[in-house]
Each structure stands twice: as structure tokens, then as C-alpha cells.
Structure 1
Amino acid sequence: MLPASSKMPHKQPPPPRKQSISMGRGARKRDEDSGTEVGEGTDEWVQSKATVKPPDQLDLTDAELKEEFTRILTANNPHAPQNIVRYSFKEGTYKLIGFVDQLAVHFTQVGNLIPKDSDEGRRQHYRDELAASSQESAKVVISETEILEEEEEPKEVEAGSQTDVPIVEASEKMAEEELMTPKQPKERKLTNKFNFSERASQTFNNPLRDRECQMEPPPRTNFSATANQWEIYDAYMEELEKQEKTKEKEKTKTPVAKKMGKMAMRKMTSMESQSDDITKVTQAAKIVERMVNQNTYDDVAQDFKYYEDAADEYRDQEGTLLPLWKFQNDKAKRLAVTALCWNPKYNDLFAVGHGSYDFMKQSRGMLLLYSMKNPSFPEYIFSSESGIMCLDMHVDHPYLVVVGHYDGNVAIYNLKKPHSQPSFRSSAKSGKHTDPVWQVRWQKDDMDHNLNFFSVSSDGRIVSWTLVKSELVHTDVIKLKVEGSTTEGLEGLQIHTVGCGTAFDFHREIDYLFLVGTEEGKIYKCSKSYSSQFLDTYDAHNMAVDAVSWNPYHTKVFMSCSSDWTVKIWDHTIKTPMFIYDLNSAVGDVAWAPYSSTVFAAVTTNGKTHVFDLSINKYEAICNQPVVAKKKNKLTHVQFNPIHPIIIVGDDRGHVTCLKLSPNLRKMPKLPRTMTRYNGCGRASLRRQPQTAAKTLPRRAASVRSGIRTPEG
């Protein structure tokens, strides 16, 4: 019989007291490690402890303690910068970055766990299995070799000759075990389909080759000859012999050929005689017509030549305009006068352009040239499909007239040619403006002595036109871009607002300098040499600029007029006007007088012509006179005659009125005592007049530069 204790396979538990003691010690030990000492019981935790208040604690009521405060947690990084700017090389400025990264990283740790199902996890598991199997096989081989060595030692002592047999048997057993153990397959590398490619290629670089060639110089020959009297005589004799031979050949022709040749000669001679007769008749008819007109308008011609208003002696600061001729044509009826220009060579001849300023009522255009010797009918008549908006006559070639059309084309008319079509004309194929051409102006010939003129249009382009081999070639001089109006379009493209050019004028002495007025009321000072920027910008008017004009004597002064009822006189070195005149109506055109630097004229849409003389009165006009009788008529343009004391005024009904200036309106500048006032013929000597006139305006302008005044002020 086994003892009772042996029947119980498990140990008895220790007494409960010892367990509780051990548990208390362990708990105390753990609490000591955590920094808190706990006794055997839990009564110490249940006991209430008195709270200690700091002396500066606030005493709050129950309502204040129960008050809820809302706290909003946002994902914004408080340390992230809010005003980061970066330089934009495209726009040339610093630009504010709108989006700032709000991600804040507090802790990062690189993990060492790999998912079992991933490719890398499977590869690692496979490597671990191979390593474990290799270690086990190595241990088995080592243990077997040790056992064999222990068995071989006593046998070697007994019989030294039989020591080789167990070694051979052991080696044979090891070979059999190696054959019986299966070979482990080689590790296969798993490829990533996303960054693995089985094929590779390399581009072929083309070989570089140098080829040289040498040109043969053109052959040269020396030529020399002399021109003597006998050589010239021999050349003439050879030409005479050739003519005699041709006459002999004509004599040997058949009679039919002779008759045909005679008929052709008769027709040619009849046509030549007829054209000669027509030219003779037309010349005689023109002389007779002028004689009839001279007799018909004899009183007007006498007033133009000799009449002077005697009342000017009693009014020092006032003048009048005497109406002379009125030019009109039935073909240009209801067409507005859009341009006026005197011929630079013939002082009695002027050109009139007819068109329409109404966008909804566009019609054909007319170019008429009138002479004061024949006010009843124009000397030249040219018609066009589109309205003529501007024109100009060449100074060196007074028979060439350039015009600008409403459809954006420009054309050159030659008065010497009998046909009515322009000699040269632009087209959509060769290049033209996309908006109406508001002004054209002839310029000096280029380096190759080709004719050259400029044009301005509402499409914002100042274009230079050159006549090269009977063809108009255009080049953009400058584009009118409104400053501060650049917007960014699709794909970062910069879109510029284009200014609409309405008028321009070129400086008399500085060849590259010119002014451009726009529909926005601004005046740009530009240069022919710089096409990307303006020399200066003037905030001139509140409405479209209708005309700008440099003073013919003072090189720094120019004048502008606008539809905002004002005429302003500027010094181009100062951005504020020197004189401002309010004419109580839209101003259509202004013009400087050719005989004085202080006299200018302006026409308004209420039918009045205003003449100013700054040397007499710099605040008001010395002449305000209505020219057209009807209120519906509007004056559009005015021009001074370069020699005679007259002006021509055009209206929107196609009429041109010629007016004579009274003596008070054409007072000459005061000459120094050392200069003679009259020459031997009794006429005023104007040899040094430009220098005298140029000194008058600066003295008047200097008196108002300290404070600008309007006529009403």
C-alpha cells in the first residue's frame, strides 16, 4: 500500500495567511515603485482630505462655475506662416501664396513589422525555414561523426591494419544519407511588376560630320573705254543705217500688210488728235469757267483781297470773321466733312474728305479738291466704297494724297493720273487696320528714299507704311496698352486692354517724338525708337481726345481738345495743363495759326468758331461767332491757310465755309526796334518772325505756371 500522500498527484496550497502577507508585500512593492505608498487596508483612501486653496484663488458663484465655455478645435497649425510671398519671374513681381501646409508632425518612428501576407513577409519566412533546416542537418552530421570517432579509437588499438574499414563504411553511409535527403530548391527572387522591366534599349546617337566647301570668287575683268567725238559720230551713223534698213523692209511688204498698217496708223493718229483736242477743249472750258465764277463772285473776291473791318480800331480785344465762299457738291450731300488739308505748294487749293461719324449710318466716301478760283465745282473728284476719315498731302510731292478709310484701309491718290482709282491701296491680304483710321500723316523718306507715312486707328496700333516697289509695306511702331489693366487669362496668358487711338501729331524739330490721343482721354508721348513703352502719359480729358497739335514755333507746347467741352494747352515737360478753356460744347477740332505762336482756333458742335490770342487775352476768346445758321449743323474741322488770313470750316452736312480774319485776330508779334517792319514793297517782312513768335508764348505761359486758371476762374 502506498502512503496517502502518494495518492495525491498535486501539491497542497499554502496557508492563506502567508498568501495574504505575500500579496500585501507585493502590492506595497509595486506601489513603492509607482511612487505611492499604500497600507494593508483601503480605509486611508476612503478618508476625506481637506483641500488647500491658494491665497490668490478667485471666489466664483455657482452660476459662474456652471457656465459653459465653447472651445473649437481646428486643424490649423498656429506656427504656420500666413504671409509667404514668392517672386514670379513671369510677371516680375512678388505674389502672395494662398495655400499654406497646415500639417504638423510631432512624432515619427520607423516600424520593423512586416505583414505575413505580403511578398516581403513570405520571402523572410522562406529564408528562416531554409536557415533552420540547414542548422539541423549540420548538427546531425556533427553528432554522427563524433560517434564514429569514439567507436574507431578502441579498434585502432586492437588491430592497426583494420582501421581503414570503418572509415570507408562511415563515408559510404554519409554519401547515402546525402543522396536520401532531398535537395532544397534555390531561392527565387520575386520581381515587382511596377518597377521591373525585362527589356532595355538605348537610343542611337547620330554621328556628327563636318563638311566644308569653298566657293570660287566671281571672275573679274578690267574694262576701259573712251568717249570721243568721232566715236559718238560713228554710233549715230550706225543708228541711222539701222533705221534705213527697217524702212527698206517695210517697203518690201505686201499691199495687204501696207493697208493694215496704214489703217492702224490712222486710228492711232485719230485717237491722239482726239485726245489732244479734248485736252485743249477742257483747258479752254476751265479758263472760261473760272472767268465766269470770277465775275459771279467778284464782290467776294474783292472782300477776300482788300476788305478790312474798320470797327476793329474801336475794340482792342475783339475780332470778327467775314464769310467768303461756301464750297459744296451734290455728290457729297449728306456726307460729313471728316478732314481738311491745304496744299503745301498751291495756296488756293485744299482737299476735303467726306464720310460719316455715325456708326449705324456708314456709306461711301468722297475725296474732293477745291480751288478758291472756282468755288462752284471741285477740281478733282474721287469716290471710294468706304468713308474717308482723314487725309494728308505730301510736302515735297503735292500731287500725292494719302487717305484713311473707315474700314481700316489706307490709300494713296495721284492727282497727275487721270483715273479715279487710288494708285496704291492696302488690303486684308497685305495688311490693314481692324478699326477706322482716324488720322494719317506723311513723314520723311526712309534711308532708301521710299515714301513713308504713319496712321493711327481704334485698334490701338500706330503703323508705319512704306511704299516699296509699288507696294505698301506696313510695320507696327507701337501698340497703345492701357496701364494697370493687365489681366491673367487661361494658362497664365496675360491679356492687355488696348487703348483706342483717335489723333496724333509729330514734333516739328525732334523727328522721333510724337503725341497720341485716345478715346479714354489720355495722351501718350511716344518715340519712334521705343515700341514697348511710352515716354510719358498725361491724364488729359474725361472723354475722347479729338485732336492734338504741336505749336509751330514753341517746341515744348502742344494743344488738345476733347468732347468734354475743353481745350487745354500743355508743356510736354509738365503733366498739368497751362491753360484750360471750357467752350460749353463738344470741341471737334483745334488748329494753331501759322503766323503767331499765341493764336489758335477751335470749332464746336453748337456751330460756333472760337479764336483765341493769348497775347491779348489769356482767359477768354477774342472771337465767338456762329458759322452755320441751323442748330442741327455741327462743325467738325478747321484749318488755317498758310499764307492768306483766312480759315476754312467744315460741318456734318458736307459744306465747307471760308472765313476771313479781321485785323484784331491776326496781329503780328511785336518786332524789336532793330528789325524793319516793312520792306520796300510795303508788305510785312516775316524773315525773323518765327523767332519772335516763339518768344511770346513762353512769357505768357510763365505768368500762369504758379497757378492754373480756367476762363471762368
Structure 2
Amino acid sequence: MDEFRMKLKSYSNPSNPARGKTILSSKRKTEAYLRVMFDGKDVTPKPLNPDVFSGGRERQISVYEHDRPDVRRSTIQSLNKTYSIVRFKSELREGREGSTQPYRGSIQSSTHLTSLGGASSLTDKEENPTSGSQDENAEPSATAGLEAGPPQEEEDEDTSSIQAMKKMPVRVALTLCETNTVFLLDIPSATAIKDTEEGDLVELDNEAYEYLTVGKGRNRKMLHAEVQTKPIIVKTRTTDYQRNKTKAGSSYCSVWEMYDTYKDKQDSEEESEDDSEDSDVGEATGHKLDEVSSLDSFRLSNEEKQVQKLMKSPRFLEAVCVIERLLASNCFKEEQKIFRCLTVPDDFREKIEYNYRLNHLWTFANEYTKGRSVNSLDWNSKNKDILAVGYGKFYFADQVAGLVLIWSIKNPVQPERQYNFTPPVTAVSFSKENPMLLAVGFYDGAVIVLNIASREKMIIGENIPPFEPCWSLCWNYGQTQGEEEVVCATFDDGRICAYSVQKKLEPFQLMRVAKADGKLKGYNATKKCTNLVIPVTRYDAAYFLRYHPIHSSIYFVGTNQGVIHKCSINYLNQHLDLFLAHEGPINAMKFSPFCPQIFATCGDDWHTRLWAEGISDPMVDMYVTMHSVEDFDWSPSHSTIFVTTQSKFIQIWDIQRKIYDPQSITESPSKARCTKVQFTDNGNCLIVGDVDGNVHVFSVEDLPFKAFFQENLLFESMSRVLSTNLPLMKKLRKLRRKQSVMK
């Protein structure tokens, strides 16, 4: 108790500068009950209910609760009472501001201090007589105006004595304490800090989860165990039911019967649809007919309808194709054996002659090809029995509609597919990756991609036609390995464009061939008599495009001025090199199948020339008559043999034998000018197209035996030809050594 009184005295000491004066100082003895009188009226406030305001009181009482649990209730009531009186006094003082009358009133009864201390409170003067002189100059205490009320036993009695009131204290010491923390929202974190205890636990949980779901724990051993379950309580019930009468029966139905049944049903539905369409057509066109004529006379009979429907059936057309092949094999049985190399002459026969003879087997032609020039030929990349032929005339005075026919060796009489077009066809080319796709170029500049798997015209992709004709087509892969196949086309305005196979063929320009000026290397052409100051066009027509057999990024372009441009897909619109090959348009350029550094060209200047890559001068120059060399092709079986076409003649050359004259000259069976020539893959047969729409198939017979080293034979034959030209022979030998080192 003495310790508590010392604490209370320290709070009420005004000399302490760190704390203000307290209104609870007990300088004089107070009584337990006080009344507050103002202007002769009793304004004593009624005590408040401590239970109502228990949440807003200060919590300093916890010290006393800890020391004296038995006074907790009384202490709370005393503090609540003190709080209400102090509040009332402060409000009353604010209402009396400006008044001259002094304020008098009681603040606190001695009951409060008595209840806190556990005994009657004494004033500071009574407890410490020497402190009177020290507090004389101090401010009057807040309890200076307090007078003792009735004693504890007389609290219930009415008291009429009015105590003298003094002024309110000037300073009041208030202590602010922190309230309890109230959490309005608490969201626990889903993560933990690494390298902590919580983080280590989370990592262990994650590792265990991955082990059980993804890792080896997924395949953990499983065991079967038995457990006991509660038996299901059931009840047995029986009833009587009349037995059903049954009868045994059987039936047999084959797969063909089911197929025919559903097929007849489908055919009947299609016939009903056709009848409805015919009736609609009759109603729509009825107003155009003569009144005398009857609609029945224009309608077909049921038999004719069935025949027309049968002719459109894909199954019937396929059956007709098979029957035509069987009938054709009866007529061309021996020729087909020769084409397939089933009848090969004996290498050890008694009489062997090298006549380079062409034996005519058959001709691909029908009534639709008559009068249409053969402009392009191409064998299928997968099925070597399939040949695509493009027809059309594009002369100014005589233009014929285009036609594409797909011929088969199994049926030399009728084509397997037929596609009609309005503009003349100038080029056809099969895809190397997808053999069903056929690229077709036209005289109006259009380029389309056909799917020949369908008998109807199924166009996979089509471009927007430019203003100039398309002269050649070829398939090649994109700039990088693994890209899809693209169609490369050359046009008369010098453009070389690449198209990706899609519904709308978008052009990507690789090159535009400019007109070559000045003196060019290559063939030493005669000087022109005229010199045009202002040329008609700045670009030459690109007639063909050939990719290098080894370097897929290098390609060659031939023009109508006889110039060959060496280009690369890595350098757009720029050529790497160029040289003059012919005086006039170049019709063909092809690489040797045995030596990729040797290639041949033919043109309208009546010459056929052999070239070596990197050497600007021609190695071999061949000339026969004053006719344009329309086409050229190397033999796949002999490195020194190749074929050319001039006018209506087919010429077979062998540079191993001679170069001043061909080994054999064969006249076309139709006596028409030949336009295209091409060997088969085995080199035993030859196909030739002419301006009348005929495609002749020949077998090449009486050829020399195949050499073991075809490339060496080619170089040796060319070296013998160049025996009079030592500089060129040295260049050729250097190229040969370089080729051997590369291998």
C-alpha cells in the first residue's frame, strides 16, 4: 500500500516538469460522498454504468488487477466515477467561460482513494508535515476546494451543508495509451521466403508432390488388401408371371446384300433430286418455248437419263479406264514391253552395230489435240508411267484454247485426265514432293496448281495474272532447308517469281533480268549494224530457269537476247555473273546428269553449244542446218550422247564419235515441226512433241555399251575435241582436277 501511495503522489506532484497536475491530489482529507453545488443548486452528476463504458476506459488498471485481484470490481467503478466527474467539470467550465463568478464544485470523493489504497486517505500535509512549506508556492491542488462529506456510515443521509468551491485546475495531465490492434482483413500468404524454416518446409512439400505426380513415385508399388464391410440386408420376394411364347427363327444376309440395299436407297434418293431439278428447269424455261412445242419433247427418257447419270459416275469412269487399258495392251503389248525394257537385246549377239536408231512405238494424240502445239512435257516424279502435256497456240493470227492432258503408258489411245482452259498453255511441271500437284502456266501470265487426283478441274491455288506470258515453271524448296516446296515461274517482262502453294498464290520476286549492255564475255558474236539509243524495254524476256544440280541456291536464267544470267536466291534482283551464249533467243539449257559442271544450250542461231562452269568460252559448238534448235536433252544412260530437234528432224549426237555431224537423223512420223524432246529416266526411250499436237514415243536402239566411268569418258571426249585449242583444254583439265578433289 505504501508503494501505491508513493506512485500516486508522484503523479500529483506539480514540481515534476515531465507531467502535468492531476486532479486527484489529496492535499486534504476528503470524504467518501460529495455533492456539487452550483448557484445553490445540486448539480451532482449521477454515476455512470461502468459495464456500458468498460470498452472505452483506460487500461492502467491492469497493474492493480495484477497486484490486487480482489479490488478489481471496486477499482473499475471508482475510475469510471472519476472519469464521469472530470468530464462533467470540463463541460461545466466551458459553459461558464466569460462569467465573473468563481466556479465551485466538488471533483472527487475520498472514497476513490480509500478504495484504491484499501484505507482512509490522508492529505500530503498530514503524511509529510515538512512538505507544507515546499507546496506553498505551488498551484492550488484540484482537491483544494473539496470538503469531507458525511462519513461512510452516514452516506445515505441527506446533507444540506454546502462546501466552499474553488476554481478548476489550470493544467490537467492526460495519458494516451495505444489501443488494441483490430484486424479488418487477414489474407495468409501462399509463398514463403527461401532459406527460412517455412521455405524449407514448402520445398519439401513441393518435392514430395512432384515425386508422387511426375517423378518415379508415380509408378510406386500398389498392393491389394481386403477389408470387411457391413453386409447388405436384403429380403427375398417371389412372384408368379405368365411365360412368354417364343419361336426360333434364322436368316442369312451377306455383306453384298447389305451394300446393294443401301446403294439402291441412295440411288433412289439421287434420282428424286434429279427429277425435282428437271422440273424446276422446265418451269423456269417454259416461257421461252414455242406454244406449239411441248416440254415433253425436250425432256429425255428414263433410259437416256440413266445413261447420262452412269457416264458421270466416278466408279463407271474408273471401270472404263481399266477396260481401255486392257484393250490397249492387246494392241500395244510388244511396244509396252520395249518401253518397260522387258525385251532387251542380247549383249553377246553375233552382229552388233551402233546405228543410234529410233524405233517408233506409238503416238499420244486424239481429236482434241489436233491443231494444238505441244508446248511443254513433264514426267511424273513418282509414277514414271504418267506424262503431263500442255497444248496451245499463241500466234497473233491464230490463237487456240489451252489444254492439259495426262497420258499413261498403259493406255496410249485415250488420256487419263483432260482439263480445258481458255488461254493457251505454255508450261507444265509436276511437284517433286507431292506427285498429285501439277503447276500450269498460261500465255496470259496466269499460274495455277491442279490436283490431278480428281477427274474434274480441281484448282488448289491460282495467282493474279500479270500482263506478260509465263514461259517456264519449276518446283524447288524454299531458301532454308525444311521449308515447303514453292513454284518458280519466269515471265516475258523479265520477272522471276516464287509462289507458295495456297489458295491465292502470292508472288515473291526473286529477280528481274535487266538488259545486258556493252561487250559481254562468252560467245564472240558479230557486231550489230544498228545501235538503238533509246531501247524499247529495259528488261529481257526470261525464257527458262534452271537450278544448279549441286548448289540449290544458284540458278540460271536464259533470255531472248541470248544472255544467261547466273543468280542466287540470297541476292535478290542481282545477278552473280552473265555471259553471251547465242545470237538470239535461248530455247533450252540443261546440265549433264554425270558431271554437274558441264551444261549445254541451244538457240535460234542454229547452234548447240557445250559449256563448262567457270569457263566463259564454249567447249564444243555444233551446227547442221539453218533451222532453229527447238529443244535439247542429255541421255541418262550415256554421258556423251544427247538429242536435239531441228524443224521436223530428230538428231542424236555422240561427241565421243564426232561433233561435225549427228550420228542419226530421224524424221518425225507426222512430218510436222518438232517442239519438245525428252528422254525417259532409263534412257531407252524418247518422247517428241510437234506443232500438230502429237507426242511420239520412240525407243532408242543400237546404242554403244555403257561406260564404267561416264564422267571420265565425257572429259576425255571433250579434250579430244579441244586438241586444237590448248588454252581451253588446259582450263578443262583444271576443272577436271578440281572436280576430282571435291569428290
Trace 1:580-619 onto structure 2 (pairs within 5 A): 580-584=621-625, 585-605=627-647, 607-619=648-660
Equivalent residue for 1:658, pick from 697, 704, 721:
697
Equivalent residue for 2:490, pick from 456, 479, 502:
456
Q: Determine whether 1:300 maps to 2:335.
A: yes
Q: Quote the offset at 1:380 in angstroms.
A: 0.7
Trace 1:37-186 onto structure 2 (pairs within 5 A): none
Match of 2:713 in 1: 696
Judging changes above 3 Å, is the alpha-carbon distance between structure 1 residues 277 and 435 closer, same or farther for their aligned structure 2 residues?
A: closer
Q: Secondary structure at the match of 1:285?
A: helix
Q: Quote the offset at 1:627 in angstroms.
A: 1.7
Q: Quote the offset at 1:316 in angstroms.
A: 5.0
Q: Is the 8 A contact 1:485 1:497 kept in 2?
A: no
Aligned counterparts of 2:605 and 2:695: Cα–Cα separation in 1? 25
Q: Is the 8 A contact 1:485 1:496 kept in 2?
A: no
Aligned counterparts of 1:277 and 1:522: Cα–Cα separation in 2? 51
Match of 2:617 in 1: 576
TM norm structure 1: 0.54
Q: Determine whether 1:472 maps to 2:505.
A: yes
Aligned counterparts of 2:405 and 2:351: Cα–Cα separation in 1? 41
Q: Is the 8 A contact 2:624 2:661 kept in 1?
A: no
Q: Quote the offset at 1:701 in angstroms.
A: 2.2
Aligned residues: 418
Q: Quote the offset at 1:485 in angstroms.
A: 7.8
Match of 1:326 in 2: 363
Q: Secondary structure at the match of 1:649?
A: strand
Q: Is the 8 A contact 2:476 2:487 kept in 1?
A: yes
Q: Is the 8 A contact 2:394 2:424 kept in 1?
A: no
Judging changes above 3 Å, is the alpha-carbon distance between structure 1 residues 378 and 310 closer, same or farther for their aligned structure 2 residues?
A: same
Q: Quote the offset at 1:535 in angstroms.
A: 2.0
Compare 283-292 and 396-405 and name the one that shifted more: 283-292
2:679 partner letter: F
Equivalent residue for 1:647, pick from 686, 693, 696:
686
Q: Quote the offset at 1:331 in angstroms.
A: 1.5
Match of 1:529 in 2: 570
1:288 partner letter: I
Q: Quote the offset at 1:446 in angstroms.
A: 5.4
Q: Secondary structure at the match of 1:375?
A: coil
Q: Determine whether 1:419 maps to 2:456.
A: yes
Trace 1:343-362 onto structure 2 (pairs within 5 A): 343-362=380-399
Q: Secondary structure at the match of 2:716?
A: helix
Aligned counterparts of 2:452 and 2:553: Cα–Cα separation in 1? 30
Q: Quote the offset at 1:572 in angstroms.
A: 2.0
Judging changes above 3 Å, is the alpha-carbon distance between structure 1 residues 523 and 494 closer, same or farther for their aligned structure 2 residues?
A: closer
Aligned counterparts of 2:679 and 2:439: Cα–Cα separation in 1? 20
Judging changes above 3 Å, is the alpha-carbon distance between structure 1 residues 453 and 575 closer, same or farther for their aligned structure 2 residues?
A: same
Q: Secondary structure at the match of 1:345?
A: coil
Judging changes above 3 Å, is the alpha-carbon distance between structure 1 residues 313 and 540 closer, same or farther for their aligned structure 2 residues?
A: farther
Match of 1:43 in 2: none
Q: Determine whether 1:435 maps to 2:473.
A: no
Q: Is the 8 A contact 1:461 1:501 kept in 2?
A: yes
Question: Which is greater in Rg?
Answer: 2
Aligned counterparts of 2:311 and 2:403: Cα–Cα separation in 1? 29
Compare 472-481 and 413-422 and name the one that shifted more: 413-422
1:102-133 deviation per Cα after TM superposition (whole angstroms, max 9, x unaligned): xxxxxxxxxxxxxxxxxxxxxxxxxxxxxxxx
Q: Determine whether 1:634 maps to 2:673.
A: yes
Trace 1:207-226 onto structure 2 (pairs within 5 A): none
The runs of 5 or more residues in structure 2 that have no matched partner are 1-205, 220-261, 272-308, 520-533, 727-743
RMSD: 3.6
Aligned counterparts of 2:665 and 2:424: Cα–Cα separation in 1? 31
Q: Quote the offset at 1:476 in angstroms.
A: 1.1
Q: Quote the offset at 1:275 in angstroms.
A: 9.6
Aligned counterparts of 2:398 and 2:558: Cα–Cα separation in 1? 25
Q: Is the 8 A contact 1:347 1:643 kept in 2?
A: no
Match of 2:515 in 1: 482
Q: Is the 8 A contact 2:554 2:568 kept in 1?
A: yes
Q: Quote the offset at 1:553 in angstroms.
A: 2.0
Judging changes above 3 Å, is the alpha-carbon distance between structure 1 residues 708 and 564 closer, same or farther for their aligned structure 2 residues?
A: farther
Q: Quote the offset at 1:618 in angstroms.
A: 3.9
Q: Quote the offset at 1:310 in angstroms.
A: 10
Match of 1:161 in 2: none
Match of 1:517 in 2: 558
Judging changes above 3 Å, is the alpha-carbon distance between structure 1 residues 495 and 438 closer, same or farther for their aligned structure 2 residues?
A: closer
Q: Is the 8 A contact 1:312 1:318 kept in 2?
A: no
Q: Quote the offset at 1:346 in angstroms.
A: 1.3
Q: Is the 8 A contact 2:354 2:702 kept in 1?
A: no
Q: Determine whether 1:406 maps to 2:454.
A: no
Judging changes above 3 Å, is the alpha-carbon distance between structure 1 residues 662 and 281 closer, same or farther for their aligned structure 2 residues?
A: same
Judging changes above 3 Å, is the alpha-carbon distance between structure 1 residues 494 and 367 closer, same or farther for their aligned structure 2 residues?
A: closer
1:221-261 deviation per Cα after TM superposition (whole angstroms, max 9, x unaligned): x99988x99xxxxxxxxxxxxxxxxxxxxxxxxxxxxxxxx
Judging changes above 3 Å, is the alpha-carbon distance between structure 1 residues 705 and 616 closer, same or farther for their aligned structure 2 residues?
A: closer
Match of 1:501 in 2: 542
Equivalent residue for 2:434, pick from 397, 400, 404:
397
Judging changes above 3 Å, is the alpha-carbon distance between structure 1 residues 532 and 327 closer, same or farther for their aligned structure 2 residues?
A: closer
Matched-pair identity in %: 24
Q: Quote the offset at 1:705 in angstroms.
A: 3.9
Q: Quote the offset at 1:521 in angstroms.
A: 1.4
Q: Quote the offset at 1:473 in angstroms.
A: 1.7
Trace 1:677-688 onto structure 2 (pairs within 5 A): none
Equivalent residue for 2:326, pick from 267, 291, 294:
291
Q: Is the 8 A contact 1:504 1:547 kept in 2?
A: no
2:710 partner letter: A
Equivalent residue for 2:608, pick from 546, 562, 567:
567
Aligned counterparts of 2:360 and 2:483: Cα–Cα separation in 1? 43
Aligned counterparts of 2:569 and 2:444: Cα–Cα separation in 1? 25
2:706 partner letter: M
Judging changes above 3 Å, is the alpha-carbon distance between structure 1 residues 280 and 531 closer, same or farther for their aligned structure 2 residues?
A: closer
Aligned counterparts of 2:638 and 2:347: Cα–Cα separation in 1? 22
Q: Quote the offset at 1:421 in angstroms.
A: 4.3
1:467-492 deviation per Cα after TM superposition (whole angstroms, max 9, x unaligned): 2x533121111111113389xxxxxx
Equivalent residue for 1:620, pick from 640, 661, 673:
661
Judging changes above 3 Å, is the alpha-carbon distance between structure 1 residues 617 and 289 closer, same or farther for their aligned structure 2 residues?
A: same
Q: Quote the offset at 1:445 in angstroms.
A: 4.5
Q: Quote the offset at 1:587 in angstroms.
A: 0.9
Q: Is the 8 A contact 1:335 1:355 kept in 2?
A: yes
Q: Quote the offset at 1:548 in angstroms.
A: 0.9
Judging changes above 3 Å, is the alpha-carbon distance between structure 1 residues 562 and 311 closer, same or farther for their aligned structure 2 residues?
A: farther
1:622 partner letter: Q
1:602 partner letter: T
Match of 1:282 in 2: 317
Q: Is the 8 A contact 2:635 2:683 kept in 1?
A: no
1:700 partner letter: S
Q: Quote the offset at 1:372 in angstroms.
A: 1.2
Q: Secondary structure at the match of 1:424?
A: strand
Match of 2:33 in 1: none
Judging changes above 3 Å, is the alpha-carbon distance between structure 1 residues 371 and 653 closer, same or farther for their aligned structure 2 residues?
A: same
Q: Is the 8 A contact 2:360 2:698 kept in 1?
A: yes
The runs of 5 or more residues in structure 1 that have no matched partner are 1-221, 230-262, 487-492, 672-691
Judging changes above 3 Å, is the alpha-carbon distance between structure 1 residues 269 and 636 closer, same or farther for their aligned structure 2 residues?
A: same
Q: Secondary structure at the match of 1:292?
A: helix
Q: Quote the offset at 1:270 in angstroms.
A: 5.1
Q: Secondary structure at the match of 2:457?
A: coil
Q: Secondary structure at the match of 1:664?
A: coil
Q: Quote the offset at 1:427 in angstroms.
A: 1.5
Q: Quote the offset at 1:382 in angstroms.
A: 0.8
